[in-house]
A and B are shown apart, each in its own frame.
Chain A
Amino acid sequence: MRKNKWLIWIVTLCLLTLSVSAPQKSEAFSDQVIELGAYGDDVLELQARLQYIGFYKNKIDGKFGYGTYWALRNFQEQFGLPIDGVAGAKTKERLAKETTYHEKFVKDQINKGNQFTHYGKIPLEQQVKKGTAQGAKQPEQVQLPAKYSEQDLQLMANAVYGEARGEPYEGQVAVAAVILNRVEDSKFPNTVSGVIFQPLAFTAVADGQIWLTPNARAKEAVLDALNGWDPTENALYYFNPDTATSDWIWTRPQIKKIGKHIFCD
C-alpha cells in the first residue's frame, strides 16, 4: 500500500512536470513557427500584436520582412525570451498574453485598401485613413525579390495573360522572362512598363488584350520569372510562326520552341 502511494506520487509529479515543460499551444496564432521570409495570416497577427504594444511601426501587410524581425527581437529582449527573431510557441504565447488582436478590424481594413494602424492605446476608429482604392478588389499580397515591385508583377501578368494564356505553363514563364531579359538589355527600355508599352513590342498591347484580367496561373508564371527562371535561355524576342507578318523576325537567331512560340535572340 505504502509502495503504491509512492508510485502515485511519482506519476503525479511526472505528469505535473510534463504539463509545465511541454510547449503549450497559444490561444492565438496557428501552430506554425514563423520567421524571416514567412507570409500570411500568422504574420498579419504577429505584426498587429507587435504594433499593439508599440514594437512594430511599419505597415501591417502579412509579410515577415526585416521590420517585423527587428520588432520581434526587441519584444523578445524586453520580455526575457530567447532573442532569435523567430516566432515560436513561447514567443507567441507571451505576445498573446500581453496584447489584443482585432482580427476583423485588421482584415477589413486590408480588404478595403485602407491605411491603418493597430496601436493599443488609440481607439481603432481613429487609426484608419481611407484609401483611394475604396471598394476595389485588393490584389493578393506577394513577396518578390527586392528589385521588383507588385506593380511589375501585375503589369507582367496582364501581358503574359494577353499574349500567352493558351500556352503551357513553361510558355507563360518564358514570355515573362523575355520581358525581364529586355529590361536587363541596354537595347531596350530599362523598366518593365517601358518594355511592355514600347510601341510594336507586344501584340497584346496593340489589340487591347493586355487589359483582360489575368488568372492565377499567369501570375504564378510571372512570379517564377521574377524569381529567376528563364525557360527561353536568354531570348529577347518570340513569335508565332503561323501568324507572324514580319520578315525581320525570321532573321533572328532561334533558340527554342515552346508551345506555339519560337523564342529567339
Chain B
Amino acid sequence: MKILTSILALAVLVMGVFLYNSKQNEMDMQNNLRAQYTSRMTDASEKMSELQKSVQSATVFNDKAAQAEPLEDIWRLSSEIKSDIASLPLDREFSKEWMNYLGRLGDYARLKSQDKVPEEQWLKVTNNVAKNLDEFSYEWQNASTELLANQQSFKKWQKDIKKDEPSKKWTALSSTVKGYSESDFPLTASESDDLKKKELKSIEDKPVTKNQVENTLKEMFPKLKNAKLVASSSKEGAAYPFYHIQFNEGIRTGYVDYTQKGGHLLSVLIERPIGKDRIPQEQIKEKAERAVKAFGFDDVEMVETRENHLVWHVVFARLNPTNKARIYADAIQLKLAKDDGEILGVNTMEYIQKETLPDQKQTPVNWDDYFTEQVTIQKERLAYTENELLQQRLCYELIVLKDTDTRSHTFRILVDTETHEVLKSELLN
C-alpha cells in the first residue's frame, strides 16, 4: 500500500512538473511571438511616418538630382512596410488593401525616378498620396498605440488584430485605404489591357454547349473517347464563364476546362501511371510538334523542353507573322509522358487571347560596346516581352556566354530594339 501511494505521488509530481514545463514553454513561445509582432508593428508605424515625410519631400523638388533620394526612400520604405504588414496576423482584407496601396506607391516612385511618369501626373498623384498618408500615419500610430497600451492576453491581442473582435480604428483604416487605392492609383491603359487579357475580355465567339465541348475533348484526346465525364459550369464569380469537365477512363483521370464562348481549350491535365520505358528526346519533340498542329495551334514555335523523372514539359510561343519574333506572353505548355510520349497536359490560357503588339523602331546596337569583353553573343533573334509599364516591346533576344577559367554562365537578355533598355536578364542553368 505504501509503495503504491509512493508511486502515485511520484506520478502526480512528474505530471505536475511536465504540465508546468509545457505551460511555461507555451508562455515563452507566446511572449516571443508577441514581441516579434509588436516589433514589426512599431517598425511599420515609424516607417509610415518616414514614408509620409519622403512623399512630402518628393513633391518639393523639381530638380532631378534633388528628387532622387526621396524617390528612392519612397520605394524602399513602401517595400519595407509591405514586408512588415505581410508578417503580421492582420485581417486579410486589411493587409491585402494595404499591400496593394504601398506596392503601387513604390512602383510609381521607381517609374518617376526613371522619368516614365509625366511631371503633371506625378504632382497630382503625390499631392493626393501625401495628404492621405498624413491621415494613415496618424491612424496607424493610434491603432498600434492602443494595442500596445492594453495589458491584455496574447489571445485577446490576436483577436483584436485579426478583426474577430475588431477595433474600430483598424476597420476604418482598411476601408479608407481601399478607396484611396482606387483614387490615387487608377489602372493605367496597359494595366487595364493586361487585366483584360487575363480575364479573356476580347473573346466574342458564340457560346457553345456542354455537349459540344465534350465532343471536342474526345476528338482532341481519342484515348478518352469512352471516358466517364462529369461536366459543370463555372461559378458566378469567374471572370469568364467556362465548362469544367472531370473525366475517368481506366487508368486515366483528370480535368479539362473550355471557355463557354467559342469552346476554346483553357487547360487539361491527365493523370496516369508512367511506365519505366523511355522514348528518345527527338521523338518527344516530334510528338509535341504534331500535337500542337493537330490541336490547331499552327502559329507557334517550340522554345523550350525540360525533362524530369516522369514527364517532359515542352513550351511553345506564338510567332509574329510579320517579323517572326517570338511572343513569349502568348505561350502554350505541353506535358508528355516519358514512357510513350502521350500528351498528358495542355495549357493554352495565355495563348487564347493575342497580345497587342506595338509598331516599333529597330535601331542597331553596337554589342561590342554594350557588353564587357568577357562575354560572347551566341545567339540573336527577335522577341517580344513586357516592360515595367506592362506594354509588349519588341526586343533583341540574346543568348550570351560569359566564360571564365572556373565556370561558364549563360544569360538570356532581352534589349528593347528602340530604347536599348534591358527588359529582362535571366541566368540560365
Contacts and interface: CB of A to CB of B under 8 A. Distances in A.
Interface of A: 32-40, 57-58, 63-67, 70-71, 140, 142-147, 168-170, 173, 186-189, 194, 198-200, 220, 223-224, 227-231, 233-234, 246, 248, 252-258, 262, 264-265
Nearest to A88: B282
A265 B237 CA distance: 7
Contacts of A63: 429
Contact of A234 (B82, B90, B239, B313): B239
Contacts of A70: 378, 401, 403, 408, 410
A242 B114 CA distance: 50
Contacts of B257: 231, 233
Contacts, number: 177
A58 B234 contact: no
A246 B164 CA distance: 9
A258 B246 CA distance: 10
9 contacts: A145-B306, A146-B428, A147-B426, A186-B103, A187-B100, A224-B269, A227-B313, A228-B331, A229-B333
Nearest to B405: A57
Contact of B104 (A34, A140, A143, A186): A186
Contacts of B239: 233-234, 255, 265
Contact of A58 (B255, B271, B407): B407
Contact of A146 (B305, B308, B426): B426
Interface centre among A188, A227, A253, A264 (most CB of B within 10 A): A227
Contacts of B238: 233, 253-256
Interface in B287-341: 304-313, 315, 331, 333, 335
Contact of A67 (B86, B107, B347, B429): B429
B429 A66 contact: yes
B428 A37 contact: no
A80 to B, nearest CB: 21
A140 B307 CA distance: 13
A198 B103 contact: no
B142 interface: no
A223 B274 CA distance: 16
Given A37-B306, A70-B401, A224 B345 contact: yes
A244 B374 CA distance: 57
B269 A32 contact: no
Contacts of B88: 199
Interface stretch (B52-60, B91-99, B120-128, B218-226): B91-99
Given A37-B305, A186-B100, A227 B333 contact: yes
A54 to B, nearest CB: 10
Contacts of B159: none
A15 B89 CA distance: 78
B306 A255 contact: no
Interface string B342-359: 000101011000000000
Given A32-B281, A186-B103, A187-B99, A169 B401 contact: no
Contacts of B312: 37
Contacts of B280: 32-33
A65 B237 contact: no
Given A37-B304, A37-B307, A143-B306, A229 B269 contact: yes
Contacts of A248: 91-93
Contacts of B208: none
Nearest to A30: B278
The 7 closest A-B pairs by CB, nearest first: A253-B237, A65-B429, A37-B305, A66-B410, A199-B89, A186-B103, A39-B307
A234 B257 CA distance: 13
B96 A187 contact: yes
Contacts of B89: 199-200
Nearest to B348: A228
A35 B271 CA distance: 27
A57 B282 CA distance: 27
A89 to B, nearest CB: 12
Contacts of B96: 187-188
B269 A254 contact: no
A199 B95 CA distance: 11
A70 B429 CA distance: 12
B211 to A, nearest CB: 20
